[in-house]
Each structure stands twice: as C-alpha cells, then as structure tokens.
Amino acid sequence: MAGLYIHIPFCHSKCIYCDFYSTPRIDSLDQLLDALLREYQRRHDEISETFSTVYIGGGTPSIIPTDKLAQLLRSLPVGDAKEFTIEANPEDITSEAVKAWRDMGINRISMGIQSFDDIELKAIGRRHSADDAARAIETIIGHGITNISCDLIYGLPGQDAASWRRSLDRLLAYRLPHLSAYCLSYEPGTALYARMTAGKIRPTDDEALEEMYALLCRRAAEHGYEHYEISNFALPGMRSRHNSSYWTSTPYLGLGPGAHSFDGSVRRYNPGDLKTYITAADITVIDNENDDDRFNDVIITSLRTSDGLDLGKLTEKRRNYLIKTASPFVTDRSMIKTGQNLRISEPAWFRSDAILRELIV
Ligand code: SF4
C-alpha cells in the first residue's frame, strides 16, 4: 500500500490565516500540469507499490477546469486507488464538477467549510457563505459521492462558544463520514498574525479554546464519530486512509511545489515555489535525517492518533527512554500505557504539543 499526493498551489485569493504555499497565478496551470507529469516520470521508481490512495490537495484543486484535471489523471497511475480524494472549496462545487470528478474515479471530497457563520467566514477572508457550504454538501451527495469530509475551525475572530456550537451542530446534522476541526493558528507571515500584532484582533484565550475542543470531542462522540487523530473524527470504517498513511509511516509520493514524500526510509520535499518548480529540471531535496530525527518522526506522528505508538517496534534503548520520559504523563493520566502500547489520552490531546516537546530527543 502506498499513497500519491498531488499538490495544486492555486487559490482564488488568500485566506488571512493561511500559511500554506499557494498563489493566485492560475495562468501557469498548463505549465504546472506539464511539470507534474515530468516530476512523476522522473521519480516514479522511488515507490514500487501501487497507489491505493490518491489525494489531490492544495491550495484549491477544485479551481482547475475539469477537462485539464482529467487530462493530468489519464497520465498518472491512479486506477488502483481505493480512496481518491480531491480538496474543494464550497464556491467551486457545481453539478458538472462533481459529475466530472466522479467520472475520473474521485470518490471522496474534502471541503473547507470552516464555519457556518457568515460574519466569521468574512472575517477570515473566505469567499463562500454558510448557505453556499450547505448547498455544496447537498450537491455532492446528490451526485453520488457520499464519502465527504468537511473542515471546521475553532477560535475564529468573533467566534464564541455558542456560535462554535451552532457551526458544529449544523455540520454534525449531515452525519457525513468524516470531520476535521482545527484550532485557529496565528502563523507569522500571515495577515491574521499582522492584525494580531497591530492589536486589531485578539486571539481566543486558551481556556475558551479548551472548552471548544472539549465540546467538539463530546458532540462528535454523541453523533457516533471515532476521534482517531487530534483533529480528525470519522464514522466507523471511514477514517481517511490517505492521511492515516502519514501517521503510520506508509510510503507516499508527493508531486508538486511544496509536496513532501516518504519512500519508507527517506523523506524528500519540494520547495514551495511555483516558478522554480515549473522551470527547474529537478528541485526535490532529500531530507537528511539522522536516527534521532527518525525517532522523533515516529513519536510525533504516531502519538497524534488514538492507536498510539507500538513500543515493541522501538530498540530497547529508545523504548526505555520513552517509558521513563512518559512516566510523569502516565501518572497524571495524560498518557495511557497498555502493555506495549503508549498513547495520549483524548482530554490531553488539546495540549499534545507540550507533551510531544518533552518526549522528543
Ligand atoms: S483556500 Fe485553503 S489553501 Fe487557499 S488560501 Fe484559503 S486556506 Fe489557504
């Protein structure tokens, strides 16, 4: 089993909180598509297994004209994908687009809704309204793609516990197979960060954020969702297979500017720069990890999940280190050790960054 990730770096405009690599320069689309094919031809033998998951992410892949996307996919080995996802924004969802995606083999849509409150959406620069998001969900389901994931954000400017609950409950009422919910992050370099440092926006305090997270966990459980990763919830059997591969060290090949890859032992990445990506012969960089880096990768990825870490897969020295370092957290119940399994307890996931910082070497 392996995954294929294709990064489409175009967005209509920049959301004020976003620090992903993206550009509005869609006039470079044809050159990007050519460069993606060249990159695949150059790197296809890095991974020998067939791609059982494919994920077209961004940016906003849903802004690509469907005939151009179909042309790209005809030249890539996507035919064995059991899970084939495209990320989409609500304003791009039309009957024609969904039908065309379905004909390409795409069977899962991950949509950035973020909030069902129009004032909150406007405050972060989203282009869609709450009703656009609702219409988009209904259009997707109406055209036969039922495997849908939607993203929400908590801690938005102007959001309070009541409006967070309204957004959450409106989404949960659809009983979609998958839900991702992220805490708003103030990343240096974003417009959001600049507004915060200028005193125009005040971040939500930690106590309120923790209450929002607790509400999220509780309401998702009441609706039958498994909380299988810090920010991810799925109905039984509907976990994201592709994203799970990132947390279980499954190989994946990432194509496009800013994409990362892992062939089972070596990590590689492409710098996030469209112009260089479409003009240079080869921009892929090998991430020269040492043993400590690889150990840290395992800790950071596996302890994000409810499945946790199998201590039996570590060397005796690493295992002993981790058991000792984690013991205060096991004592205060923010971590749980059962036999050879170590994991962070759900209530402690909200402060998992602080725990992981203590565990890495
Ligand atoms: S649509 Fe997504 S990738 Fe594009 S700017 Fe907004 S958050 Fe970032």
Q: CB of 192 closer than 6 A to ligand 1?
A: no
**DSSP three-state, residue 232:** strand
Q: How confident is the model at residue 82 (pLDDT cuts 50, 70, 90)?
A: very high
Q: Token pair of 225, please? A: 């969702």
Q: By alpha-carbon position, which residue is closest to atom 2 of ligand 1?
A: 59
Domain boundaries, the chain: 2-246, 290-361
Please check the confidence at residue 343 and state whether its pLDDT lies above 90.
Answer: yes
Q: Which CATH number is 2-246 given?
A: 3.20.20.70
Please check the confidence at residue 249 and state whether its pLDDT lies above 90.
Answer: no
Please check the confidence at residue 68 and state whether its pLDDT lies above 90.
Answer: yes
Please check the confidence at residue 131 and state whether its pLDDT lies above 90.
Answer: yes
pLDDT digits (tens, 9 = 90+) for 167-207: 999 999 999 999 999 999 999 999 999 999 999 999 999 99
* Pairing of β 252-255 and β 2-8: parallel
Mean pLDDT over residues 146-169, rounded? 97
CA atoms of 67 and 330, how far apart (whole Å) = 54
Phi–psi pair at 308, nearest 5 degrees:
70, -155
pLDDT digits (tens, 9 = 90+) for 328-342: 999 999 999 999 999
User: Of 60, 115, 192, which is best to mutate to test ligand 1, by the most ligand atoms within 8 angstroms of its C-beta?
Assistant: 60
pLDDT digits (tens, 9 = 90+) for 281-308: 889 999 999 999 999 999 999 999 999 9
Instruction: Tell how far the Cα of 201 is from the centroid of ligand 1, in angstroms.
Output: 20
Instruction: Tell how far the Cα of 35 is from the centroid of ligand 1, in angstroms.
Output: 22
Mean pLDDT over residues 267-279, rounded? 94
Q: CB of 274 closer than 6 A to ligand 1?
A: no
Quick one: pLDDT at residue 22?
Answer: 87
Quick one: pLDDT at residue 114?
Answer: 98
Please check the confidence at residue 1 and state whether its pLDDT lies above 90.
Answer: no
Q: pLDDT over 90 for what percent of the chain?
A: 95
Instruction: Tell how far the Cα of 315 is from the centroid of ligand 1, in angstroms.
Output: 41
Instruction: Tell how far the Cα of 156 is from the centroid of ligand 1, in angstroms.
Output: 15
Chain centroid, CA 53 distance in Å? 14
Q: CB of 240 closer than 6 A to ligand 1?
A: no
Q: CB of 35 closer than 6 A to ligand 1?
A: no
Q: Which CATH class is domain 290-361?
A: mainly alpha
CA atoms of 107 and 144, how far apart (whole Å) = 9
